[in-house]
Amino acid sequence: MRQRIGYIDNIKGLAILLVVMGHVISTWFDDFAALLDNDPDGQLLVWKLIYSFHMPLFMFCSGLFQPSMDNESSLKDVWDVVLRRFRVLVVPYFASGLLLWFVSGRPQFYWFLLVLFEFVVVTLLISFAASRFPKWNRHIELVMLFAVCLLMRLVTKYGAAWEHLPLLDIGHLSIFRYFAAGYLVMRYDLLDKLMSKLGYAIAVVVYVLLLVASMTGLFKIPLIQNVLMAFAAIYTVFYMFRSFPDSSSKPFKVLEFMGRHTLEIYILHSFFLSRVPSIGRFILEGSSVGGGRFTFVAGIVLALALSAVCLLLCYLAWQVLKPSDLLSQLFLGRKYK
């Protein structure tokens, strides 16, 4: 059990590192959105690789630890879990978001915290409702989760007009599919059963082919492409981390530590992001060197270096907040002994 949790912590550490790297890269360019829409030379290849799976991976990992209800559970049990997750997710959503708004001068709230809380509540209610019918529990739960996945997709696609409503983040609701997948994998003890060398080989091939197709414009069904790429990447990452013979080395220990403190890193890292347009100009000027290989390597090295600095500052800020129960509960969602 310890080994399983250990490598999952390592994966969570990788996921939060990719989140920070993705946000660091976005600070290199004055008009990042415009560059993203028109990137013929592949200056943003590293960013696109990260965003092809990092949030689905994060949501899948979150789903792994989603509690479930059984036929002995009561509504009070559901309510207790909701209250705990409210303190951990929603309180920091408002507190840290308002502080970040004050510091940056523009509204910036952490959508992941809000959406994750909503997914937790929805899954708890589904689990509780299905548990009322012990004989058909699994079937009902599967059907309800699938129905909610479809509903979330439809709301994301057609519900743009509701985006302004409070406590809704329409654009990200469709990633419930990854949370639900993680929940079901752990709920029915499928993680080890699904892992195989053949599955790993297929996942790698599927991811690479779809990535190439998306970069060249050969494949133009975004939903299928994005979902298959994300699940293929999730499978690949889990298989690789599960298969490492020795996870006691220093890099793994760092990832494990980060994986245990993803919430703190996620909340704090935005306070230490600053625009560095000189790096963007350096990347753009080198995009034609070596067929783009220079841009790719330079992007990884620079993103890792600046992310390491950002993570160090997060750690220092965490140490400042940690001794205060009020501040740590308010901004980080928990108290520390």
Question: Read out DSSP for 61-90?
Answer: HHHHT-----TT--HHHHHHHHHHHIIIII
Query: What phi and psi, each to the nearest 5 degrees, are found at residue 22?
Result: -60, -40
At residue 4, the pLDDT reads 47
Helix/strand/coil percent split, the chain, to 5: 80, 0, 20
Angle subtended at Cα 35 by Cα 25 and Cα 169, rounded to the nearest 5 degrees: 70
Task: Report the sign of the C-alpha dihedral through residues 286, 291, 297, 299, in that order.
Answer: positive
Instruction: Say how far residue 18 (Cα) sits from the centre of its chain.
Output: 9
The pTM of this model reads 0.90
3-state class (DSSP) for residue 276: coil
Please, what are the averages of pLDDT over each run of 10 residues along the chain (337 residues)?
Answer: 66 94 86 67 74 92 91 90 94 91 83 93 94 90 94 81 61 90 92 92 93 75 83 95 77 89 94 84 68 72 92 95 92 86
Give the DSSP letter string of 289-315. Answer: GGGGHHHHHHHHHHHHHHHHHHHHHHH
Angle subtended at Cα 6 by Cα 190 and Cα 334, rounded to the nearest 5 degrees: 105
Cα–Cα distance measured from residue 120 to residue 122, given in angstroms and rounded to the nearest whole number: 6
Residue from 173, 223, 230 nearest 56 by CA? 230
Residue from 95, 114, 94, 97 nearest 106 by CA? 97
At residue 174, the pLDDT reads 87
Angle subtended at Cα 323 by Cα 327 and Cα 64, rounded to the nearest 5 degrees: 70
Residue from 35, 106, 13, 1 nearest 299 by CA? 35
Residue from 241, 243, 276, 247 nearest 32 by CA? 276
- Does residue 20 contact residue 265 with C-beta atoms inside 8 Å? yes
Copy the structure tokens of residue 47. Answer: 């960013």
Q: Cβ contacts of residue 26 below 8 Å, gap of 6+?
A: 32, 47
- Does residue 82 contact residue 55 with C-beta atoms inside 8 Å? no
Taking each helix axis from N to C terminus, what angle separates 2-26 and 250-260, rounded to the nearest 10 degrees? Answer: 80
The CA–CA distances, whole Å, from 292 to 41, 45, 206, 283, 289 equal 7, 9, 23, 10, 6
At residue 170, the pLDDT reads 73
Q: What is the DSSP letter of 110?
A: -
